[in-house]
């Protein structure tokens, strides 16, 4: 199981929200590069970079942060937040994203998102499935759609999607543990997807459980900032599971 630390960006700074609520933002570091280099120093290879300004604005905003991290580190970056158009996608890849995550666009503009899958392939496009009470949330989690999680993922798998980041919004930033039952249900229903767990990770003891149930990766954010999980522990988990 891949360990994927997260950096969420508002106005160029590293922040975290609780349950996706922008009013709860807390700045943890004013320099995302400093945080990214710390991840790299402990042997972590991946980074989940979220443009929260972009998610709200519905177009890419913090692409210069992406470009800086891509140039100054060797982390493989998946980038999401506000990617709605072909131009947004081009900017993200030109600025060094290894993969992009599409959430709202997959709900509101499925034709565009399906074309991206066909054009760039399963290894470059990740489906962001953000869940609120079993329904998909969009627009930086400010809106809830009527689409249910399981058929939403299944429909996109038929279009060629392989990687799915699934976040239970009620868990995100709360440090109360991940949505084990949700992930188990999704993996049992569709063992062929590469499911990446996100939201609520609070202790290193949760990692082997997610790995055993078949999660391909896990995204960890607030637990690192709040020192609930150390980078040393993540490094050791990586070594044992590589």
Alpha carbons 56 and 19: distance in angstroms, whole number: 15
> What is the Cα–Cα distance from 86 to 78, expressed in whole angstroms?
17
DSSP result, 146-169: EEEHHHHHHHHHHTT--EEEEEET
d(CA 24, CA 32): 19
Shortest CA distance to 35 belongs to which of 80, 64, 68, 60?
68
Catalytic residue ranges:
8, 130
60: nearest Cα among 31, 34, 35, 93? 93
């Amino acid at each position: 199981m891949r360990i994927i630390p997260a950096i969420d960006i508002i106005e160029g700074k590293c922040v975290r929200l609780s349950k996706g609520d922008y009013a709860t933002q807390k700045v943890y570091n004013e320099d995302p590069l400093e945080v990214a280099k710390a991840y790299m120093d402990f042997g972590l290879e991946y980074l989940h970079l979220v443009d929260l300004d972009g998610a709200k604005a519905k177009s890419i905003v913090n692409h210069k942060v992406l470009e800086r991290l891509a140039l100054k580190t060797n982390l493989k970056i998946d980038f999401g937040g506000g990617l709605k158009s072909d131009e947004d996608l081009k900017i993200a890849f030109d600025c060094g994203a290894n993969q992009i995550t599409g959430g709202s666009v997959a709900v509101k503009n499925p034709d565009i998102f399906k074309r991206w899958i066909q054009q760039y392939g399963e290894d470059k496009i990740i489906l962001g499935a953000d869940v609120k009470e079993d329904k998909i949330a969009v627009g930086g989690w400010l809106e809830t759609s009527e689409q249910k999680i399981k058929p939403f993922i299944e429909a996109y798998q038929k279009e060629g999607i392989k990687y799915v980041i699934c976040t239970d919004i009620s868990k995100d930033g709360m440090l109360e543990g991940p949505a084990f039952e949700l992930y188990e249900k999704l993996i049992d229903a569709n063992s062929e997807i590469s499911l990446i767990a996100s939201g609520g990770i609070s202790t290193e003891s949760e990692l082997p459980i997610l790995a055993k149930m078949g999660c391909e990766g896990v995204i960890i954010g607030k637990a690192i900032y709040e020192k609930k999980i150390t980078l040393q522990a993540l490094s050791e988990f990586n070594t044992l599971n590589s």
